[in-house]
Amino acid sequence: MQEEDFIIEIRNVSKFFGEKTALECINLSVRKGEFVTILGPSGCGKTTLLRLLAGFQTVSEGEIRIAGKEITQTPPHKRPVNTVFQKYALFPHLNVYDNIAFGLKLKKLSKAVIERKVRASLKMVGMTDYEFRDVDSLSGGQQQRVAIARAIVNEPEVLLLDEPLAALDLKMRKDMQMELKEMHKRLGITFVYVTHDQEEALTLSDTIVVMSDGRIQQIGTPIDIYNEPANSFVADFIGESNILNGTMIKDNLVRFCDTDFECVDRGFGEQTPVDVVIRPEDIYIFQQSDAAQLTGVVQSTIFKGVHYEMTVLCGDYEFLVQDYHHFEVGDTVGLLVKPMDIHIMHKERVCNTFEGKLLDAEHVEFLGCTFACMPVSCAQPGEKVSVEVDFNQIILQDNEEDGALTGEVRFILYKGNHYHLTVLSDWDELVYVDTNDVWDDGDRVGITIPAEAIRVVKC
């Protein structure tokens, strides 16, 4: 691909707010005319990335090029971009026409040119008959259309949209999604769209950029992201998934739920811990029979309009299954998954690893605290060490004061027979915890690490 095919090039961009890293080494190239969606949970850095493109904030490191020009230091009004915000940000005292004409008047364009441009952009958003209406008299969806008309009237090369539909009710949002897609086609300009709504991202985009914790997790088409998620975070965030711990026995053979399954994946090595992802619609459910790979008991069943959604307990693993066939709670059923529907992913980590310092033979400092540990002989006091702690050895407490340190639950992954939690410690390092206890996103917790759980390793 030639460089000039890209209208936006983001190279090694990081953004720090004091100690806080909002974006870490972002690399992204956007093609002219593409509809790109930046998708991720609250706080992952998507708005910050958009603000860097708009020029409302400046990068801490790295470089941004738009339309071939390095614009890292260019002020917002000199960039070939325009932004549509979630709150319409229209002037309440001006009518629709004057709202859209506002920027053009500041540029001192002639009346005739302004009129032509305003009419054209109103036509683009399907609001031709609304020129002289007060913006207050319009519905939320109509106001957002006016906001888009105001943004496109300047004929930007790139339109940045920051959750533009988030304030609308569900029905209006769905209608507007379709209209946005049409508008994108008609306008032929590049859209960079921010949302935390995965369905919206799948519906609208040519390309989805999935982010978490200030980093890009995956870039791909909606189909790629849904069918081939790069890791368990993406699999969980996009659609519903069964995500389980497994072991790659050898090429084409994976073990989970105490059973060996044929799969199509190769090159993971032998006896390698992996994440296994299976979409609920890819599991066949039927009356118990010899054809079954797993046998289980239905725990719950809900009619979802077209299909049934059932949970099935196989041993101590719970599977989510979607099928047109209905089974009752308590039924014993067989489950089967085809090899190509078993997705194998490298585990990003198999235990927590922290940088630390050995204080004396029985004390080590990491995560900003001093922890007692079992006697250490591999390193000398004062030496830098690595500290490993298994996920299931970390104890979380309701009462923050009970922990050696405190933190906040940031992400919860259900893995069939336990929860895998990502906890952001107040020391600003992530701590990964396996637990059977039920926590919610955003819960404040105390974090305790027993001495016997701490493995000190020489760096």
Taking CB under 6 A as the rule, does residue 46 contact ligand ATP? yes
**Residue closer to ligand ATP, measured from CB, 39 or 394:** 39
Continuous segment of H or E residues that includes residue 326: none
Q: Can you state the angle between helices 96-106 and 140-152, rounded to 10 degrees? A: 20
> Least separation, in Å, of the C-beta of 10 and ligand ATP?
14
Please, what is the minimum distance in Å from the beta carbon of residue 45 to ligand ATP? Answer: 4
Which position among 47, 82, 142, 232 is part of the footprint of ligand ATP (CB under 6 A)? 47
- What is the rounded distance in angstroms from the CA atom of residue 451 to the CA atom of residue 362? 9
Nearest to 359 by CA among 387, 389, 384: 384
Which residues lie below 8 Å from residue 143, measured CB to CB, with a gap of 6+? Answer: 88, 90, 135
> Cβ distance 22 to 59 under 8 Å?
no
Cβ-based nearer residue to ligand ATP, 245 or 425: 425
Shortest Å distance, C-beta 426 to ligand ATP: 13
**58 belongs to the binding site for ligand ATP (CB under 6 A):** no
When the beta carbons of 26 and 456 are compared against ligand ATP, the nearer one is 26
User: Taking the complex as a whole, how short is the minimal distance between the CB of residue 237 and ligand ATP, in angstroms?
Assistant: 12
Q: How many residues does the chain have?
A: 459
Closer residue to ligand ATP, CB minimum distance, 200 or 282: 200
Other C-beta atoms lying within 10 Å of the C-beta of residue 33 = 15
334 scored as a contact of ligand ATP (CB under 6 A): no
Of 7, 8, 22, 84, which lies in the binding site for ligand ATP, with binding defined by CB under 6 A? 22
Query: In this chain, which of 43, 76, 80, 450 binds ligand ATP, going by CB under 6 A?
Result: 43
Regarding 173 and contact with ligand ATP (CB under 6 A), the answer is no
Of 2, 43, 48, 1, which is closest to residue 26 (Cα–Cα)?
48
Distance of CA 199 to the CA centre of its chain: 12
429 forms part of the interface with ligand ATP (CB under 6 A): no
CB 173 within 8 A of CB 210: no
Q: Is 45 in the site for ligand ATP (CB under 6 A)?
A: yes
CB-based contacts of 177, cutoff 8 Å, min separation 6: 165, 200, 203, 204
Among 20, 107, 108, 304, binds ligand ATP (CB under 6 A): 20
Binds ligand ATP by CB under 6 A, chosen from 27, 42, 139, 289: 42
Bridge partners of residue 270, in order along the sequence: none
Instruction: Report the residue closest to ligand ATP, judged by CB.
Output: 47
Query: Residue 194 CB, nearest distance to ligand ATP (Å)?
Result: 7
Residue 217 tokens, joined: 């997790």
How far apart are the C-alpha atoms of 307 and 285, rounded to whole Å? 12
Q: How far is the CB of 85 from ligand ATP (least distance, A)?
A: 11
Binding residue for ligand ATP, selected from 17, 111, 315, 339, defined by CB under 6 A: 17
Q: Which range in 17-25, 258-266, 284-292, 433-441 contacts ligand ATP by CB under 6 A?
A: 17-25
CA distances from 128 to 2, 118, 278, 423 (A): 40, 10, 48, 51
Work out the number of other CB atoms within 10 angstroms of the CB of residue 101: 22
**Residue 196 interacts with ligand ATP (CB under 6 A): yes or no:** yes
Residue type, 113: V
Summarize as ranges the residues that interact with ligand ATP (CB under 6 A).
17, 20, 22, 40, 42-48, 196
